[in-house]
């Protein structure tokens, strides 16, 4: 297994290189000068040139990219044009909040999507199947910003059962260990704060997890329908196994590979959608920080955010490849 993981990890390195080059080029082709944005519209030409020289923006693009790549390899992502602090120091306290939102969203997507897909495949064309697929269609069709606002209006403004924004109420404080508030509250035994953090993450998780839930539900149904019509399933029924045992033990495991692929791909969607969701719910994560940085044209922050999202995405795909090899040993020996 170790050589297989090593081969897959090495194959991912060129992807990160191409992503960094494409992101660097596209960002620098966007109209506008970060030095002018940094100084304001009334800045003098001399001041603009001075800032451009200070941040190396007056050099040719290949030279800028080469310097940037060399610094990244050595762990230096540059300084923010806004705060003048190292970019990595800006991301470290915000990234756990985005991870918390991703975990919550994927939990919602799996907890709802997989059971809907399984039952829909076990009872095709039934009322549950039609309702489940209608729910999946709604989940993939509703815009995230509209769904988030509607959830806030219903559960926060109208019913007053869930908070509207933020990660934790001002009445609570949690000793940071992992900086994931729900987990830190549980680890420190601060149950009221953990419950409050859990209440804050519900609405953003449902909003961000709606589209992955719909896709996972439809994929699970399709692969389960295919698996349940195989000869080994008929043999299992002939041996006298119960319907639940056949569906879960024989059908589900053989239908997992495409579902695992979809789950891995949806991580990229969660990272991209986190920007909008965190902005709606004032969630103090990387996505909201990226939105503010794009508005300010803070190039070092935007580039670091793209690389960070890409790194998480390729690592998740590596984990999916390893899980593939575990679920189907034939892949490992191919």
**Could you give the CA distance from residue 55 to residue 134 in angstroms, rounded to a whole number?**
53
Kindly report, residue by residue over 294-319, the tens digit of the pLDDT: 877 788 888 888 888 888 888 887 88
What confidence tier does 151 reach under pLDDT thresholds 50, 70, 90? very high
Per-residue pLDDT at 42: 74
Per-residue pLDDT at 107: 92
Residue 247 has pLDDT above 80, yes or no: no
**SS3 at position 86:** strand
Mean model confidence pLDDT for the chain:
83
Question: DSSP class of residue 26?
Answer: H
% of residues, the chain, pLDDT over 90: 14
Contact (CB, 8 A) for 266 and 215: yes
Residue 203 has pLDDT above 90, yes or no: yes
Helix (H) or strand (E) holding 153: none
**Could you give the CA distance from residue 92 to residue 285 in angstroms, rounded to a whole number?**
10
Per-residue pLDDT at 213: 92
Non-local (6+) Cβ contacts of 95 within 8 A are 285, 286, 308
Per-residue pLDDT at 9: 74
Q: Which residue has the higher pLDDT, 126 or 321?
A: 126
CA 204 from chain centre, in angstroms, equals 12
Q: Which residue has the higher pLDDT, 46 or 30?
A: 46
Mean pLDDT of the region 114-128:
88
Contact (CB, 8 A) for 184 and 168: no
Contact (CB, 8 A) for 228 and 249: no
Kindly report, residue by residue over 257-287, the tens digit of the pLDDT: 788 888 887 877 787 778 888 888 989 888 8
Contact (CB, 8 A) for 208 and 105: yes
Residue 240 has pLDDT above 90, yes or no: no
């Amino acid at each position: 297994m170790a050589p297989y993981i090593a081969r897959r990890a090495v194959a991912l390195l060129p992807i990160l290189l191409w992503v960094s080059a494409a992101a660097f080029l596209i960002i620098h082709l966007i109209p506008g000068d970060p030095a002018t944005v940094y100084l304001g519209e009334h800045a003098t030409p001399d001041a603009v040139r001075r800032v451009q020289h200070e941040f190396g923006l007056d050099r040719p693009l290949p030279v800028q990219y080469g310097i940037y790549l060399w610094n990244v390899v050595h762990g230096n992502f540059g300084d923010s044009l806004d705060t003048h602090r190292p970019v990595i120091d800006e991301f470290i306290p915000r990234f756990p909040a985005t991870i918390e939102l991703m975990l919550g969203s994927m939990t919602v997507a799996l907890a709802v999507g997989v059971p809907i897909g399984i039952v829909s495949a076990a009872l095709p064309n039934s009322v549950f199947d039609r309702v489940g697929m209608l729910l999946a269609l709604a989940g993939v069709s509703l815009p995230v910003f509209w769904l988030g606002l509607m959830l806030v209006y219903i559960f926060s403004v109208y019913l007053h059962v869930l908070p509207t924004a933020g990660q934790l109420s001002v009445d609570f404080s949690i000793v940071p260990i992992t900086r994931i508030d729900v987990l830190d509250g549980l680890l420190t035994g601060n149950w009221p704060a953990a419950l409050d953090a859990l209440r804050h993450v519900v609405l953003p998780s449902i909003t961000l997890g709606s589209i992955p839930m719909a896709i996972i539900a439809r994929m699970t149904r399709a692969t389960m329908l295919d698996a349940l019509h195989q000869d080994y399933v008929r043999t299992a029924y002939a041996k006298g196994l119960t319907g639940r045992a056949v569906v879960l033990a024989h059908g589900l495991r053989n239908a997992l590979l495409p579902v695992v692929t979809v789950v891995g791909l949806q991580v990229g969607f969660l990272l991209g959608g986190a920007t909008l969701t965190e902005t709606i719910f004032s969630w103090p994560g990387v996505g909201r920080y990226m939105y503010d940085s794009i508005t300010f044209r803070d190039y070092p922050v935007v580039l670091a955010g793209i690389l960070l999202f890409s790194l998480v995405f390729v690592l998740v795909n590596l984990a999916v490849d390893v899980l593939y090899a575990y679920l189907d040993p034939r892949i490992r020996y191919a």
